[in-house]
Structure 1
Amino acid sequence: MVMGEPSREEYKIQSFDAETQQLLKTALKDPGAVDLEKVANVIVDQSLQDCVFSKEAGRICYAIIQAESTQAGQSVFRRGLLNRLQQEYQTREQLRARSLQGWVRYVTIICNIFDYLRVNNMPMMALVNPVYDCLFRLAQPDSLSKEEEVDCLVLQLHRVGEQLEKMNGQRMDELFVLIRDGFLLPTGLSSLAQLLLLEIIEFRAAGWKTTPAAQNYYYSEVSD
């Protein structure tokens, strides 16, 4: 980090107006003192507008849930967060039609939250199928023709693919049939999209790990 730059934690709070900053800071320190459903809505709203925040929201949600559980074992925030994610999930096609960037940010936040949130040290079952459904949508031919969506698909599979496969291996097999089909029938696929899809196919085949040879090949190709 460059000297004088805010940390990631500070950035997440500083990207809000003063009143909302105060709301979030209080939620992190004394969750019982604020409207936690409002906090959940604020976090999702900001994630849909801000691509950097959408990648970091899971950390802040996890911190609030931890703080709330130490107070009275409550889960008001988690319930509010899941309800809001469900509302956006139900209108995801409209969101995609209205704003491709908003749709990509929604997929980013739901995967980010799935990655961070745990119940009894296990990923949240309630999010498994919605996350899969979003990734399946990104693997449709019309999405694979858009680099933003391919990039999102591959990034999220790097993040949560291994966890998702443990929760439902059959759906992961089905998702990779779509990805392979998309790669083998490259109508409208850019060379970068083809490269990203090939990389994620090999990444999963190697047990969700990047081999040194693959690292050298893909990252030299991307940087050229």
Structure 2
Amino acid sequence: MGNISSHRFGTMENSAEDYKIQSFDQDTQLLLKTALKDPSSVDLEKVSKIIVDQSLKDQMFSKEAGRVCHTIVQVNNMPMVALMHPVYDCLMRLAQPDALMNEEEVDCLVLQLHRIGEQLEKMNSQRMDELFYLLRDGFLLQEGLTSMARLLLLEILEFRAGGWMLSGTAHKYYYSEISD
């Protein structure tokens, strides 16, 4: 299977240019780029609506949406409340059966939950419960998942169950080399 950490963290970039926002018209691109650089200067509700609408139309954008929201929140220390619902909507989309079949999308979902899951749960634990019911059911019931997707789902289920931390034993299991 390999090491989860080398699989997961090698592909993440954090600059505005890496986000797939080229598909938007010029005004929307400018709005999103401004939100990434100076979120206090834009209407975050409008930004969140654009992100959610595009995520629901374009499954591939759902992955980017989490990154965009994370950057707006983390890099700029913005209150996350304005983006909570769009982030949850994107995560819920990535937890649907068709998305769980895509290892790259599972990887993105798990990475976002590692980054902001605990904060999101504090703001709305009911939606986090709903998300984790989907992940649990996907792990237990969905046929055709890759072994890496299953491992990632199991790890995030255990991560949340442990209070958004892994025990030393679990960390060793998930993040040390595992031979096929």
SS in 1 for 2:176: helix
Q: Look up the match of 2:47.
A: 84
Runs (4+) of structure 1 moved beyond 3 Å?
Answer: 37-44, 114-119, 221-224
* TM-score normalized with structure 2 length: 0.75
Distance 1:43 1:214, change over 3 A: farther
Name the count of aligned residue pairs. 158
Distance 1:165 1:145, change over 3 A: same
SS in 1 for 2:58: helix
RMSD of aligned C-alpha atoms?
2.8
Q: Is the 8 A contact 1:128 1:164 kept in 2?
A: yes
Which one-letter code corresponds to 2:101 in the other structure? S
Distance 1:43 1:118, change over 3 A: closer
Q: Look up the match of 2:88.
A: 132
* TM-score normalized with structure 1 length: 0.61
Structure 1 residue 148 corresponds to structure 2 residue 104: yes
Q: Is the 8 A contact 2:96 2:134 kept in 1?
A: yes
Q: Structure 2: how far apart are the matches of 1:214 and 1:128?
A: 29
String of CA shifts for 1:33-62, please: whole Å, max 9, x gaps.
xxxx97543357xxxxxxxxxxxx5xxx3x
Q: Structure 2: how far apart are the matches of 1:106 and 1:146?
A: 17
- Give the alignment partner of residue 69 of structure 2, picking from 87, 102, 110: 110
SS in 1 for 2:42: helix
String of CA shifts for 1:17-47, please: whole Å, max 9, x gaps.
xxxxxxxxxxxxxxxxxxxx97543357xxx
Which one-letter code corresponds to 2:139 in the other structure? F
Which one-letter code corresponds to 1:114 in the other structure? V
Which one-letter code corresponds to 1:91 in the other structure? Q
Residue identity (%): 50
Q: Look up the match of 2:132.
A: 176
Q: Structure 1: how far apart are the matches of 2:62 and 2:123?
A: 24
- Give the alignment partner of residue 32 of structure 2, picking from 41, 60, 63: 41
Q: Structure 1: how far apart are the matches of 2:177 and 2:142?
A: 18
Distance 1:142 1:38, change over 3 A: closer
**C-alpha deviation, 1:110, in angstroms:** 1.6
Q: Radius of gyration: which is bigger?
A: 1
Distance 1:134 1:38, change over 3 A: closer
- Give the alignment partner of residue 115 of structure 2, picking from 137, 147, 159: 159
Query: Which sections of structure 2, spanning at least 5 residues, go unmatched?
Result: 1-13, 19-27
